[in-house]
Amino acid sequence: MSGCALFAVASPALAQDAIPGAESDPAVDANVIIVTAQNRSQNVQDVPIAIDVFGDDAIEDAGITDFQDLTRIAPVLNITQDANNTRVAVRGVGTNSNDEAQDQSVAINIDGEYINRPNVLNLALFDIERIEVLRGPQGTLYGRNATGGAINFITRKAGTEFGADINATYGNYNHVKVEGGVDLPLGEIAGLRVSGLYNKRDGYFFHPNRAAAGNDRVRSGTADNLGARATLSILPTDRLTIDVSGEYVRNENIVATFASYDFNAPGNGPGADCSQNGFEDAAPLIPGGQCIPTRTEVQDAFGDRSNYDGPLPQIPLNENKQDSYAARAKVEYDLGGATLTYLGGYRRTDQDADLSLPNYVFFEFGNRTETQSHELRVGGETGALTYQGGVFFYREELSLARGLFSPFIAPNGSFINSFTRDATSKSYAGFGQAEYAVTDQVTVVGGLRYTIDRRDGVYGNYGFRFNTGPVAPEGPPPSIIDLKQDNEKLTWLAGVNYKPNLDTLLYAKVSTGYKAGGFDSVGQYAPETNTAYEAGAKLGLGPVGEHTINAAGFYYDYKDLQTAVLLDPSVGQRIFNAGAATIWGVEVEGSFELSPRDFFSASFAYLNAQYDELLASYAVLDTVNPANNGLADLDPGPGVSPPNLAGNTLPQSPDVTITLGYDHIFDLGTSGTVTASAFSRFKSAYFLDIFNYRSSKQDAFTQTDLSLKYQPDSELWSIQGFVRNLEDEQPLAYASFVSAGPDDNFNLTFGAPRTYGVRVGVEF
């Protein structure tokens, strides 16, 4: 494919130039995908961004219902599922903690509403018209926390005529999913769309130890979602468009529990000198054994990743309950030569999640997140200049109370720690981007964004509470700290685009990304930044653009990475700015219409993502003092010698990702069509933690999806049979060595097993 791309670049005459004055060719229009990645409607092949776009048909066929499902259609995304927190990485750039004041590294937007918290990302997705996955820093238009990229979800809007659609799915694990919507025209200037989702499924993971003890809950990884949305679209005049929507989503699922390997069990430990079972002594200069599981092989203990012992039978297996309420608005007014746009969103998420750990319960006594985002921008074209500029405001209020509880300490159980977190974040930004046509074939683009972040917090710590029972603490915390973090940052973009003909785009750019700083229970940490260099080509081939080949190469200079470290379980996880990383790679993807009934797609991505410097801390199994859980200094001398993980690979960064897809349409004449589809993805080995422990390494794997879809000639309904993950490969979704008090465990979670079922769709 690389050879094809180079040949196409050298031979642009293969593409057809538009004929002045000619009418639009319907065949050409059918091959045009319109996106809004740059806040204006464009053919995706004219956007100088590496981008993946998925329409409603692809979303429905793939059975997308939550964020984790996106990897079925966008393997460039690498998603970590840490209990009820969802974290995403693109090209190796992601966030590796759930800290209450730490932001994501990929900007997530639903109709312009900015979503930031990893627990809020654990939401249900339904009635989606289009998903855009933008790779690389998007700091100018999408702001802070877009160092890795951006993901845009665009929901379906009301049609101008009455219509309805419904999809019903039944599959293994008693999976029942019903999704649908109705368009109701309201006179000549307005329409209302009402849509909803019901999605319920048994748990993917069975826990025999709980079944043997007679527990009534022996499965985790369930799904139980309800969602409803109403969208009102109004066109009062030819120049004014208004879209207003309200949404409610409820999740009530049992998250996948950890498969936990106990290093303190007989025969599993490191031995007195850290030489057994793949351990090594991290600090030989310190007396005693400071053991880390560098080469342990705990995954071998979980041969069946759908069947493993869960939490101890005394630990309750409770639902993760989330209620999310959202309101969004988009108003566009044509000023004549320019367009004024307002985007606004508000969301409140209430969560009650008592998370079951192998020997503990993380009780939640209250968790509420309220966010609002507002953007006002103006954009247009004047002569050779295309421009846009605007202002942005974001506010997040977070309030929670949690505690890590052990039922085995004292008769009534004790809290290892319990704490409160109240934080308010505000972000203000002004931005502008302009593209100037130097000639008919060459344009230059530049953009600036100035961001001001203000974050305040009050963190309370109750510490260890003996024999309290699983109840919320009373009274003010004995330890309270006031925290503050203020940041200001200018991010920018500079690029040049060359379009020798209608179907060829060559581009090169330099851009910067910025992820806001924050604070933990001890103090502040600074922002992290990314300077990215990228060049690419987008090529359309064939007489009506049936084929596309896109290629990109990139180089990232990443600094001040925010890294999570657990030093003291009574205090909790801390975040440090630690070092730098270099990330580079190449990506090639192609889509080919082999015949009117045969379609082939393929992609290849190579990624090299390594830490240049990463001063961190080890969680350790101390053979002399079991209460010692953290090691930040390798040398007992007068100077501090922290562990340096330079040379390690960034988490969720496979070297090679390959996809292959093929669709064939069987024409049955007046009886309709049958579409046979196959899509396979390959990922080479990658790690799930910054330490690159062998037990956190996911070996290379493939996953293949197959489907057969029948649609009659009337196109009023369809029926599809499908199997997803044919190989039944369940890659690691999370992996971490945890040392807390006397406990030393390696915790893992896994991806979904093979699923299959039938989907029926009706649309009129």
How far is residue 403's CA from residue 405's CA, in Å, rounded to a whole number? 6
The DSSP symbol for 27 reads H
The DSSP symbol for 84 reads T
Pairing relationship of beta strands 338-353 and 755-763 according to DSSP bridges: unpaired
Tokens of 391: 């202002």
The DSSP symbol for 116 reads -
Q: What is the DSSP string of 475-527?
A: SS-SEEEEEEEEEEEEEEEEEEEEEEETTEEEEEEEEEEEE--EE-SS-EE--
Q: How many helices (H) and strands (E) does the chain have?
A: 5, 48
Evaluate whether 221 touches 207 at the Cβ level (below 8 Å). no
Name 290's bridge partners.
622
- The residue whose two tokens read 């846009």 is 388
Task: Tell me the residue ranges of DSSP E strands in 614-700.
Answer: 618-619, 621-622, 630-631, 656-667, 673-683, 686-687, 697-698
3-state DSSP call for residue 707? strand
How many other CB atoms are found less than 10 A from the CB of residue 165?
A: 18
Tokens of 505: 């785009």
Which residues, 6+ apart, have CB-to-CB distance to 588 below 8 Å? Answer: 1, 2, 5, 549, 550, 551, 603, 604, 605
C-alpha to C-alpha distances, 147 to 92, 448, 513, 579, nearest whole angstrom: 11, 15, 4, 16
What per-residue confidence (pLDDT) applies to 178?
A: 96
Q: What is the DSSP string of 29-42?
A: HHT--EE-TTSS-E
CATH of the domain at 638: 2.40.170.20
C-alpha to C-alpha distances, 100 to 185, 471, 525, 566, 698, nearest whole angstrom: 43, 22, 13, 15, 28
What per-residue confidence (pLDDT) applies to 711?
A: 95
Total domains in the chain come to: 1
How far is residue 404's CA from residue 469's CA, in Å, rounded to a whole number? 12
Low-confidence ranges of the chain (pLDDT < 70): 1-31, 81-83, 97-102, 122, 544-545, 565-573
How far is residue 512's CA from residue 493's CA, in Å, rounded to a whole number? 7
Which residues, 6+ apart, have CB-to-CB distance to 12 below 8 Å? Answer: 500, 501, 503, 504
**Nearest CA among 229, 239, 166 for reference residue 192:** 229
How far is residue 238's CA from residue 251's CA, in Å, rounded to a whole number? 40
| Sign, Cα dihedral of 502, 503, 504, 505 | positive
**What is the residue range of 649's domain?**
2-763
